[in-house]
Structure 1
Amino acid sequence: MTSPDNVLDKDGVRLTVEDAIATVTLTNPDKRNAQSPALWRALTEAGRSLPGSVRVVVLRGEGKSFSAGLDRQAFTPEGFDGEPSFLDLARGGDAELDAAIAEYQDAFTWWRRNDLITIAAVQGHAIGAGFQLALACDLRVVAEDVQFAMRETSLGLVPDLTGTHPLVGLVGYARALEICVTGRFIGAAEAVGAGLANLSVPADELDGAVRDLAGALLAAPRDAVIETKALLSGASVRTLDDQRTAERAAQGRRLRDLAGLSD
């Protein structure tokens, strides 16, 4: 292993790369890694800054909480320095408001790229936008003190940072509805049992467990992993016949590649 290279460090986000593993760290523990538009832009930039050699991305938060969600300063009249407040955005036109939310969502979408496997290492609070950021990743390893909650509906809002799709996919419509509307907390045992988390470990073992998982994910050939992720991620929207067709096409590509016949 080489020493990690610091690729980006701004607005509460640090990206480091060590061989085939990148780590994205939320770096504002004093505010429990509360999120802001500047942080979302930095997350989007982190995704665009990944070297092509990266195969696994680990997302983590410094301090006791993964992310306590949106910084409430966004709802004050003054908002953030140099940023329109959410109240200002609400007073603007529909197109401008839609474009602003779409830009925020970009920070939550690149984690699903087929050429990456992404792991959220989650401890303490992961609330609202923090919960949705964890849901943006392919896999979640949680500390035993984790507390997930989707609080947007309780505040008169909706989860709009791409979290509703993976939540329904993981736990089903009825449980997702109950989680969102009640805004209740979900601990580690329930998260693992419901499929929200792959593994729960003591807090002091979280980093080690994630390193072990990342190493295991790197064991398989990269192209086979990319094809497998694409098959699995698209399975829910394909018919059985379409999935069979996709499997045949993917396997054909793999066999030709192994035989040295690929383009």
Structure 2
Amino acid sequence: MENRSEPLNYKISCTGISKNFGDTKVLEKIDLFVKENEFVVILGPGQSGKSTLFRIIAGLETPSTGTVKIEDKEVSGPEPTVGFVFQRYTLFPWKTVMGNVEMSLKLKNMPLQKRREIAQHYIDLVGLGGFEKSYPHQLSGGMKQRVGIARAYANNPKIMLMDEPFGQLDAQTRILMEQEMVRIWEAEKRTICFVTNNIEEAIFLGDRIITLEGKLPGRLGLAYEVNLPRPREFTDIEFLKLRQKITDDTQLTL
């Protein structure tokens, strides 16, 4: 279990988090600590409270019990240092790629030239250079999700929360985006919490995997350190051993 004493230098500290919606208990006694620049994957089935946990960390929901801290500051409302990438493409259809990526900077009244420079940097980082003037309807699913990642990065968050961002993609595009996610994270490190229900995706991406037990209320289960060098191969023997261990361990809880 993730039960550990709260360290002083963690980027995210969730202590005793529970959440009720009316009579429905969605999360119970969640203790989660994430180090700076760590890539942590929360692995669990649908309807296990994963998205609610992320919304609490981002300050978009208030826990029924417990506290969330970003560094040493308790979260009490929408947290500007947290970027959020959703499973659904949340792009403005009337905005170009550039318009979508620079939107948060524009809302901050950043001068045009400066925000365009920042937006262009992240458009290039996610591999969309040349598509600045394209609209969402002209992009593939993988390209739309790249725009979402670029937009989140452009706001210069300390923490990225990624809620099953590749869940709607076909298998081939999903693998490509997993590879791209590692490349982007290694190029510009952020503390990342990533939700998935896919064991292979969790092993490919994470420094650490934490299971969330199935059926409400969601409770944290086992934690796994992923001590595999990058880039990782899905067919590597150590990768397959870890996959089998997680599969065996979670058979009764996911």
Q: TM-score, normalised by structure 1?
A: 0.30
Q: TM-score, normalised by structure 2?
A: 0.31
Work out which structure has the larger RCO, using CA pairs closer than 8 Å and 6 or more positions apart in sequence: 2
Q: Give 1 or 2: higher helix fraction.
A: 1
Q: Give 1 or 2: higher strand fraction.
A: 2
Q: Could you say which structure has the larger radius of gyration?
A: 1
